[in-house]
Amino acid sequence: MRTDLAYAQALDAADPLASFRQHFIFPDPALIYLDGNSLGRLPAASPVLSRHIVEHTWGDRLIRSWNEGWFDLPERIGAKIARLIGADADEVLVADSTSVNLFKLAVAALRHQAGRARILTDDLNFPSDLYILQGAIDLLGRGHRLEVVPSPDGIHGPAQELDAALDTDVALLTLSHTVFKSSYTYDMAALTARAHAAGALVLWDLSHSAGSVPVDLHAAGADLAIGCGYKYLNGGPGAPAFLYIRRELQEALHNPISGWMGQANLFAFGLDYAPAPGLRRFLTGTPPVLSLALLEAGVDTLLAAGMPALRAKSLQQTSYLIDLWETHLAPLGYTLNSPRDPQQRGSHISLGHPEGLRIARTLIDELNVLPDFRAPDNIRLGIAPLYNSFADIHTAVQRMAQVVAERLYERQATSAPVVT
């Protein structure tokens, strides 16, 4: 494959999604932003929507806005996210944070699976997911055990080993669909089927796949899922998360954080909690209206582009990046820390280097390229097909080569800042 800039520009000229760049704000057009897998760019519609929410629905309509749409936001925007992840409108809610939603669903699942003690996950899962599971085990006090199955190489998920570990004592299998470091993406349907054959429930974290990888929860037979709103959904920092519960399970599971918004009759003010029917029982407190409403702009843009087109471009762009790595970066000591198989990866690529931290800092501080870094050596390049161009990728690779060839990273400290 050609690796010159003219070829990248030709790919951009032929890109059917190129017009979607105008749906985002670029304060610094020269910045190459490759961190959409951590925080998505600001949709152009969001400032306008924010002004409307603050000045009109809050400033003008005041408390009347609860009856004019605020109460319905968790379900209405959840129904739009459902279209991105292969679910029905009444199976997805927007609420709380990813961690809180994981806690709710994990505890509900473990209580439902009485008599089973094992929880299976892998060592590629996001660490805070494990922290939440450990806390849930301590809180329940029923002798549950969290078993972390190791990856064979730190890149690929241990699918065969997880399969072998499934038995009639497994209550819950919970994994990141696309893992945060390497971008490895599980075959959701295959692993879910194996777990169900053993009688286990399955909970998927979609934080790195929703909006970047085609997800079909129905086709996979998934039981439960969670995901964040601030990565590929472009909801902004602190955007609320979402949760999914298969319709057949909704009445059988019980929210462990019962609260006012999840009760059957909000204004009866009874002293004994009675859960709402269906999924709404998994709401707890008052929704964060401002940030929740802003999530809609990013979700609408994804729906307009369509997941098949987004995935096609993502696969083309990640493959292009790997070709550039092989030609320009591998000779300089960079390693590919993501799967080569396009069907096994999401929309970010991790490249390793012994000086990865200092390279990332040099790119950010001196060369106007914004990736992120994950220990021990991963420089993550998050490609968001809605707004990243092929020229972005080409230029970023050239600057990564420059940092090593000219040893520019030696000017950086070896200690890590709080956020990389």
Q: What is the CATH number of the domain that holds 388?
A: 3.90.1150.10
Instruction: Say if residue 323 is in the same domain as residue 355.
Output: yes
Over residues 389-415, the pLDDT tens digits come to 999 999 999 999 999 999 999 999 887
Classify residue 125: in a domain, yes or no.
Answer: yes
Q: Look up the domain containing 370 and give its range.
A: 5-30+306-411
Q: Can you give the pLDDT at residue 414?
A: 84
Catalytic option among 20, 24, 103, 126: 126
Q: Is the pLDDT of residue 198 over 90?
A: yes
Q: Which of 242, 380, 392, 409 is catalytic?
A: 380
Higher pLDDT, 3 or 237: 237
pLDDT attached to residue 75: 98
Q: Is residue 41 a part of any domain in this protein?
A: no
Residues 186 and 314 occupy one common structural domain: no
In a shared domain, residues 89 and 177: yes
Residues 102, 223 within the same domain: yes
pLDDT at 415: 78
266 shares a domain with 202: yes
**pLDDT above 70 covers what percent of the chain?**
99
- Domain stop point among 281, 304, 327: 304
Q: Where is the domain boundary, 279, 304, 329?
A: 304
The Cα 107–Cα 37 span in angstroms is 28
User: Considering only CA atoms, which of 70, 1, 67 is closest in space to residue 290?
Assistant: 70
Among 231, 246, 313, 399, the one annotated catalytic: 231
- Indicate whether 418 belongs to any domain: no
Beta strand 201-205 with 242-245 is unpaired
Asked, for residue 23, whether it belongs to a domain, the answer is yes
Axis crossing angle, helix 5-13 with helix 390-405, rounded to the nearest 10: 160
My answer on whether 189 and 173 are in the same domain is yes
How large a percentage of the chain has pLDDT more than 90?
Answer: 97
Same domain, residue pair 401 and 352:
yes
- Which among 239, 275, 257 has a CA at the least distance from the CA of 136? 257
Same-domain check for residues 171 and 290: yes
Cα(345)–Cα(376) distance, integer angstroms: 20
76 and 107 in a single domain? The answer is yes
If you average pLDDT over every residue of the chain, what do you get?
97
Statement to judge: residues 293 and 393 lie in one domain: no
244 located within any domain: yes
Q: Which of 304, 329, 354 is the last residue of a domain?
A: 304
In a domain, 208, yes or no: yes
Decide: 392 and 34 in contact? Cβ < 8 Å. Answer: yes
Q: Is residue 42 part of a domain?
A: no
Q: What CA–CA distance (Å, rounded) separates 402 from 332?
A: 10
**Total structural domains within the chain:** 2
pLDDT average, residue stretch 247-268? 96
CA distance 299 to 277: 26
380 a catalytic residue: yes
Choosing from 205, 223, 372, 377, the catalytic residue is 205
Predicted pLDDT of residue 322: 98
Residue 417 lies in a domain: no
Look at residue 418 and tell me whether its pLDDT is greater than 70: no
- pLDDT tens per residue, range 310-356: 999 999 999 999 999 999 999 999 999 999 999 999 999 999 999 99
Catalytic residue check, 390: no
User: What digits encode the pLDDT tens for the residues 5-34?
Assistant: 999 999 999 999 999 999 999 999 999 999
pLDDT band at 2 (very low <50, low <70, confident <90, very high): confident
What is the value of pTM for the model shown?
A: 0.97
Q: First vs last Cα of the chain: how many Å apart?
A: 32
Q: Give the tens place of pLDDT for each residue, 369-380.
A: 999 999 999 999
363 shares a domain with 239: no
Catalytic: which of 33, 186, 230, 373?
230
Residue 205 a catalytic site member:
yes
Q: What is the pLDDT of residues 214-238, one digit of tens each?
A: 999 999 999 999 999 999 999 999 9
282 carries an active-site annotation: no
Q: How far apart are CA 18 and CA 385, in angstroms?
A: 9
Q: What is the pLDDT of residue 3?
A: 84
Statement: residue 57 has pLDDT above 70: yes
Catalytic, 244? Answer: no
What CATH number did the domain enclosing 197 receive? 3.40.640.10
Both 314 and 267 in a single domain?
no
pLDDT on residue 68: 97
